[in-house]
Amino acid sequence: MRYRLGPTLITAPEIRARVQELAGMISLDYAGRDLLLICVLKGAAIFWADLCRTLRIPCQSDFVAMESYGAATSPLSEPRFTKPADVALADRDILIVEDIIDTGHTSARLRELLRARSPRSLATCSLLDKAERRQVATPIEYCGFVIPNAFVVGYGLDYAQQYRHLPHIAVLERIPEA
């Protein structure tokens, strides 16, 4: 199957404005607390970088790596975790920074793994929410955009490790077979 870059779904200025709004909400909610951002690699790295630079409160960061799609356009049935958090999580206020919540399997599994390490609080900030595809209920305390059921790329999201560099979110379209 072949794919091509389709229309822009969310522009770079829209993303910048929403990241500033999210950072403002998070800064108010976590003022005076021991905030630890857990960035889910690789897709959330650009969002995490912009978000943490925009926060008005001190925070620390760590990274987890997971594989949810591989080189496909539909999620794997069981997400693969390839790098756990390296820092102590007990009694910390943890905010997971995600690129997209799709079926909810990956987010729910990550929350379960982190909750087992006894954080004081655990919340999720996701740039994108593909709510209509949800199969597993998982909370998103800070949501950037709710998007339709389309495969999207850009601003960190990829297809087969391509398109992460785009400053906007675009739909990836299937090229019809001739």
Residue 102 is among the residues annotated as catalytic for this protein: yes
How many degrees, rounded to 5, is the angle at CA 71 between CA 136 and CA 18?
60
Whether 40 and 138 have beta carbons less than 8 Å apart is answered as no
Whether 101 and 126 have beta carbons less than 8 Å apart is answered as yes
Q: Among residues 50, 99, 102, 158, which one is catalytic?
A: 102
| 3-class secondary structure, 72 | coil
Active site residues: 102
